[in-house]
Structure 1
């Protein structure tokens, strides 16, 4: 069983990581504090523990990755999360991004399509620090209509197009942050539901994500 130890060395490396993503343009102090407060090495295999605070992605199994901390901070900053907002996350993965949202006091509904990753997260002790996290096994393209509407939606995989079912689950005034595009590079979009059938789209920087897939993988 993995032991959870967060010593002075790891805390120091985390502060360095926060300084580095701040230099790259992350300005939201709440987001920076969340990154600083969460021991990223808890979310990785022990083989990666010594390099857990490098600003890069690492494999977590099933062809998935834990995103680069800068990317996590960037998406979270764009989402403009407020305390107690209802947030739908597509792609739980390691649950690192979920916990960042939990640290911001959001009520998080997160979906994972990979059964093995979903089962591992269910056993992950650290997540109990955030009682506002709810985990679901399912198809991210479908969202969670039973729990809609959501104040915010965050998609952590590359979508070839904007999923209409997710748009329909946004509150009016709600925002969705999603990387869109095929190939190795996607554009980060922020979509705001202005009215029942009216959406405003903002385009931001390029990123590289694993693809968003349909269905459930048992």
Structure 2
């Protein structure tokens, strides 16, 4: 699925995602138009395929970010809070921040310090007011354990495959709340976990995917 070459534009990419039925929410469309992928990806930012950002990491293909925002948009309303695990380039963090608005709060966490530094620099350069106001924050840490200091969260997105149900992340969800995460080792599925207002959790398999594993920095850098 590669609609756009590197010579396209961000608005054309978003339009193509909409035309393909991947993004339908006006709020998602607005956020993806507001946040230019070229601010976070040096290589082929408008091509619908993963792109390397160094250190064994990639920025996910635009259609995967579109699917994630669509599935989470109910929990990315103005004033809500979100966590992006394996935040990498910082792109999805920025999209989430665009959706939760000035009274919302988004944290991105990644275990590679250089990626956190790079995403911080991109956010400060292009969305400085969001950083200064505390709407958006990126930190270095083991995302498998979440980031309890910023929680609990209305929603959590995970950008790498968890080998099994990530119970520590589920514990940091509000009631109600939603977790969007690839799960599996050889065979992976994106699973949406919904926690209801009583704290009970239900899961729904969304699609088969191929993601890098949620792992230690040393294994990622091998």
Q: Give the TM-score, by structure 1 length.
A: 0.85
Q: Report deviation, 1:195.
A: 5.2
Report what 1:19 is aligned to.
15
Gap change, CA 1:127 and 1:63, over 3 Å in 2: farther
CA RMSD of aligned residues (A): 2.2
Which blocks of at least 5 consecutive residues in structure 1 are unaligned?
1-9
Q: Which of 112, 115, 120 matches 1:114?
A: 112
Q: Which of 23, 28, 33 matches 2:25?
A: 28
Contact 2:90 2:120 in 1 (8 A): no
Contact 1:138 1:215 in 2 (8 A): no
Contact 2:80 2:154 in 1 (8 A): yes
SS at match of 2:213: coil
Q: Report deviation, 1:91.
A: 1.0
Report what 2:3 is aligned to.
none
Q: Which of 38, 58, 65 matches 1:65?
A: 58
Q: Distance in 1 between matches of 2:68 and 2:168?
A: 20
Contact 2:82 2:156 in 1 (8 A): yes
SS at match of 2:148: coil
Report what 1:210 is aligned to.
212
Q: Give the TM-score, by structure 2 length.
A: 0.84
Q: Distance in 1 between matches of 2:113 and 2:20?
A: 35
Q: Report deviation, 1:129.
A: 4.4
1:9-57 Cα shifts (integer Å, max 9, x gaps):
x997222211221133221111112112222112122xx2xx3211111
- Written as runs of structure 1 = structure 2, the 5 A alignment for 1:100-179 is 100-104=95-99, 105=101, 106-124=104-122, 125-131=125-131, 132-179=135-182
Q: Distance in 1 between matches of 2:90 and 2:192?
A: 22
- Written as runs of structure 1 = structure 2, the 5 A alignment for 1:75-90 is 75-80=68-73, 81-90=76-85
Contact 1:140 1:214 in 2 (8 A): no
Q: Distance in 1 between matches of 2:41 and 2:199?
A: 41
Q: Report deviation, 1:70.
A: 0.8
The alignment covers a number of residue pairs equal to: 204
Report what 2:192 is aligned to.
190
Contact 1:141 1:214 in 2 (8 A): no
Whether 1:91 aligns to 2:86 is yes
Contact 2:84 2:108 in 1 (8 A): yes
Q: Report deviation, 1:215.
A: 6.4
SS at match of 1:73: helix
SS at match of 1:32: helix
